[in-house]
Amino acid sequence: MKEWTETELNLAIQWKRTFCLYLYTPMCGTCMVASKMMNVSLELLQELECGKMNLNFMQKVAHQYEVESVPCLMLFKNGTLTKKIYAFQSVPYLYEELKTLNA
């Protein structure tokens, strides 16, 4: 996952791309575990575009998308937010959720 800026997020939405966005904070232990789970899942779905953002520096994004907590995984299909995931239950669960973007 590449660290995205707000501009990169807005362009992905404007160009109606299908992607996921992982929101985290660096001092969050749960976020560290979720990051590892995301990396494993994305290795299996290499064609899926996925960015990440440190929510400490993205307050506008947090407000705009009503992010309740971190970690948060937002799924966008054709530039539209379709789902927010807060419970990163397991790698197979994340893999299945991410796979829906390619369907």
Tens-digit pLDDT profile for residues 67-97: 999 999 999 999 999 999 999 999 999 999 9
What domains sit in the chain, N to C, each tagged with a CATH number? Answer: 2-102 (3.40.30.10)
Give yes or no for a cis peptide into 71 (omega within 30° of 0).
Answer: yes
Is the distance from CB of 34 to CB of 44 less than 8 angstroms?
Answer: no
pTM of the model: 0.95
- Which pLDDT belongs to residue 33? 97
